[in-house]
Each structure stands twice: as structure tokens, then as C-alpha cells.
């Protein structure tokens, strides 16, 4: 049995695959594969372990012989799940293990943005640490402020816990369905989307990218937010409209933004958002810790191993395939 892996993954996952007697074929080039290369490499494989690779219906049809596709991510918006299910291909993801690391990244961006940390670091490099002015470089304090979570699932809950523990922040949230466990644990309060925007000092996005959430943070949304508010997105760049965000920041409609995800990725180096003092941008590093990436590689490997044994995979995103 052979698995094709689209990027080099941590040793922990590779070891598990090797111990299960699975042959590993890895894409080692530091560029994304083309669709043709992906199809060609999968043609001799029984399973695919896919990292940050778009898997559309055309690819899936060409690779319909695959027994399992294991994603090295919790998100699966880059995969045509419906097409995979129709072809009876189980798709697995890596839930749970990246919640802490991603929430840490949201917390980092919130704090860095509130004190203009990235911008001021760059200003020292430019030789701009000059005359001290008591009214210059002022940030915003977070103690006792209100955190608004859009999408209170595992990652949002961890961000809310951090903010409450560190700064005694009050937690409000918007979800399709109420998260009663979080309400009990944190005193979190469900609000309609508009009220969430109006009442939050920090709005942090932790939802999946779906047709319903795509472009949700647009000009109208930013206009409802406080002029002192900070917008944080560690989920998916397509959930905010980047031009609208830039305009809202330039016009002072909102105060600051911290982004681990942009639209498109990578963000171009001359993007005007990177020049603004109250903006912090990171290159999609939410899950990028040694511990978390190792754990993700293990879950992905477990999905591959079970799929190749013909067993139900442990972390399926389309369990319907087993009901067919
Ligand atoms: C990484 C992620 O971008 O899991 C996700 O959905 O966005 C991140 O963990 C990446 O997919 C890691 O392989």
C-alpha cells in the first residue's frame, strides 16, 4: 500500500505510516503541485495525505481509486466534499489538536494589535526610535473589555478562556446554535450578529469558511463595530472583505486588525494593510507549533492507516460514505 503526501510532514506522522508498512511517496519541492502533477502522483498511490492542496471535483474524478484522503488540517473548505462523497472516498481531517495553538495566535494578534507591536518593531529597524513623546505610540488596554467571538467552537472557546483568564474580559458570541457549555463555563452570552458587532471591543473570528460566512465581514459589518474595536481573524481570509477592512481602518471606522489569514494567501508584500500602525499580520501560522503539527501529522496518519485497512477512519468529515 502506498500513500502520496503533498508536502513534507512531521516525523511523528511519517513514522506511524512506516510502522504500519505503508510506502511513503512525498512531494519535496517547495512549490505547490499542479493539478496534473497531483493526478500523476496519485495514480500509483492507494491513499493521499494532503497538505494545503486544492482538491476539486475534476481531481477527485481522476483519483477515484483512492481508498482514503487524509487532510493535514481541520479546515476542509478547499476540498469538494460533495464530489468525494459521491465517489465514495472518505475524507479525514485533524480536529481538536490545533485548538490551543490557533487560539494562542488569536490572543497574540489581539495583544500585539492593541499595542501596535509589529509596527513599532519595524519602526525601530527603520531608525525611528527617537524623541520620547507621552502622547505617541499609545495603544488600547484590554482589561475588562468585551470579547465578541464569531463562531464559538473549540478554537473560539479556547480564545475566550485565555481572554477571560488574562484580562477578565466579558465574553459574548454569535453562533448558529447556542453553546450552552460555554455559557455555563464562561458566562458567555449569545447575541444576534449585529448586536455582537455593536457591543464588542474585540471581534475574533473562529468559524469555518462556508457559503454563509464568506465575505461576512464587509463594509456594513465594520460600520456596526465600535470605532475603538479590534478585528481578529485566524480562521479563513475569505470571511472578511480585505478592501472593506482596509477602508474601515483607514477611515477610523474600526481601530485595528490582527490577521493570521488573508485573501488571497500569501498576502503581497506591498499590501497597504502592512503599512498601518494598528495592523498585525502573520503568514497563517495558527497551528504552527512543534507540538500541534506533530499531533496533526499523527491524526492524518491514523486516517490513512484505517482507510487503507478498509476500516472506518477515526476522523471523517463525510461519514455519509459509510452509510451508502
Ligand atoms: C494550516 C489550517 O493552514 O487546519 C487548518 O484548517 O488552516 C492550518 O492548520 C494547515 O492546513 C496545516 O497543514
Q: What is the tens place of the pLDDT at every residue in 249-289?
A: 999 999 999 999 999 999 999 999 999 999 999 999 999 99
Query: What whole-number distance in Å separates Cα of residue 48 and Cα of residue 189?
Result: 42
pLDDT at 108 > cutoff 80: yes
Q: How far is the CA of 75 from the centre of ligand 1 (A)?
A: 6
Is 265 assigned a catalytic role? yes
Give the Å distances, CA to CA, from 193 to 172, 200, 250.
10, 11, 24
The confidence band for 324, taking pLDDT boundaries of 50, 70 and 90, is low
Q: How far is the CA of 76 from the centre of ligand 1 (A)?
A: 9
Query: What whole-number distance in Å separates Cα of residue 114 and Cα of residue 106?
Result: 12
Q: How far is the CA of 206 from the centre of ligand 1 (A)?
A: 13
pLDDT at 168 > cutoff 60: yes
Is 236 assigned a catalytic role? yes
Query: What whole-number distance in Å separates Cα of residue 256 and Cα of residue 316?
Result: 37
Three-class secondary structure of residue 98 per DSSP: coil
Per-residue pLDDT of 289-313, as tens digits, reads 999 999 999 999 999 999 999 999 9
Q: How far is the CA of 283 from the centre of ligand 1 (A)?
A: 11
Beta carbons within 10 angstroms of residue 309's beta carbon: 13
The confidence band for 225, taking pLDDT boundaries of 50, 70 and 90, is very high
Average pLDDT over residues 147-162: 98
Q: Which atom of ligand 1 is nearest to the CA of 261?
A: 7
Give the Å distances, CA to CA, from 142 to 48, 131, 147, 170.
44, 27, 9, 10
Ligand 1 contacts (CB < 6 A) are: 51-52, 72-75, 98, 284, 286-287
What's the confidence (pLDDT) of residue 65? Answer: 98
> What residue's CA is closest to ligand 1, atom 2?
73
Q: Which 8-state DSSP code applies to residue 274?
A: G
What are the residue ranges of CATH 3.40.50.720 in the chain? 2-97+289-323, 99-281
In CATH terms, the fold of domain 2-97+289-323 is Rossmann fold (3.40.50)
Average pLDDT, the chain: 97
What's the confidence (pLDDT) of residue 275? Answer: 97
In CATH terms, the fold of domain 99-281 is Rossmann fold (3.40.50)
What's the confidence (pLDDT) of residue 26? Answer: 96
pLDDT at 34 > cutoff 60: yes
- Ranges of beta strands (E only) in the chain are 2-5, 23-26, 47-50, 68-71, 91-92, 146-150, 170-174, 189-190, 202-205, 230-233, 256-259, 279-281
Whether the model clears a pTM of 0.85, i.e. scores above it, the answer is: yes
The confidence band for 41, taking pLDDT boundaries of 50, 70 and 90, is very high
Per-residue pLDDT of 54-90, as tens digits, reads 999 999 999 999 999 999 999 999 999 999 999 999 9
Is 214 assigned a catalytic role? no
Amino acid at each position: 500500500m502506498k500513500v502520496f503526501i503533498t508536502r513534507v510532514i512531521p516525523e511523528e506522522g511519517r513514522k506511524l505510516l512506516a510502522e504500519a508498512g505503508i510506502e511513503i511517496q512525498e512531494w519535496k519541492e517547495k512549490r505547490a503541485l499542479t493539478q496534473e502533477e497531483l493526478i500523476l502522483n496519485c495514480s500509483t498511490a492507494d491513499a493521499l495525505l494532503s497538505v494545503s492542496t486544492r482538491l476539486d471535483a475534476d481531481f477527485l474524478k481522476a483519483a477515484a481509486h483512492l481508498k482514503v484522503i487524509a487532510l493535514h488540517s481541520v479546515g476542509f473548505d478547499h476540498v469538494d466534499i460533495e464530489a468525494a462523497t459521491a465517489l465514495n472516498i472518505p475524507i479525514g481531517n485533524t480536529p481538536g489538536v490545533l485548538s490551543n495553538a490557533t487560539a494562542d495566535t488569536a490572543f497574540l494578534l489581539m495583544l500585539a494589535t492593541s499595542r501596535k507591536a509589529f509596527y513599532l518593531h519595524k519602526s525601530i529597524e527603520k531608525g525611528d526610535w527617537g524623541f520620547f513623546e507621552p502622547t505617541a505610540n499609545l495603544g488600547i488596554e484590554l482589561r475588562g473589555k468585551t470579547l465578541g467571538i464569531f463562531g464559538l467552537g473549540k478554537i473560539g472557546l479556547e480564545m475566550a478562556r485565555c481572554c477571560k483568564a488574562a484580562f477578565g474580559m466579558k465574553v459574548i458570541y454569535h453562533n448558529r446554535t447556542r453553546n450552552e457549555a460555554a455559557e455555563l463555563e464562561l458566562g458567555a452570552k449569545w447575541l444576534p450578529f449585529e448586536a455582537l458587532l455593536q457591543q464588542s471591543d474585540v471581534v475574533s473570528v473562529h468559524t469555518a469558511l462556508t457559503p454563509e460566512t464568506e465575505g461576512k465581514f464587509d463594509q456594513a459589518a465594520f460600520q456596526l463595530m465600535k470605532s475603538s474595536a479590534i478585528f481578529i481573524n485566524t480562521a479563513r481570509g475569505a470571511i472578511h472583505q480585505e478592501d472593506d477592512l482596509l477602508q474601515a481602518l483607514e477611515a477610523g471606522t474600526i481601530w485595528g486588525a490582527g490577521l493570521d489569514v488573508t485573501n488571497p494567501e500569501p498576502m503581497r508584500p506591498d499590501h497597504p494593510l502592512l503599512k498601518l500602525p494598528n495592523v498585525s499580520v502573520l503568514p497563517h501560522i495558527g497551528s504552527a507549533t512543534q507540538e500541534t503539527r506533530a499531533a496533526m501529522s499523527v491524526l492524518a496518519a491514523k486516517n490513512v492507516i484505517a482507510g487503507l485497512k478498509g476500516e472506518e477512519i477515526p476522523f471523517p468529515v463525510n461519514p455519509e460514505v459509510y452509510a451508502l
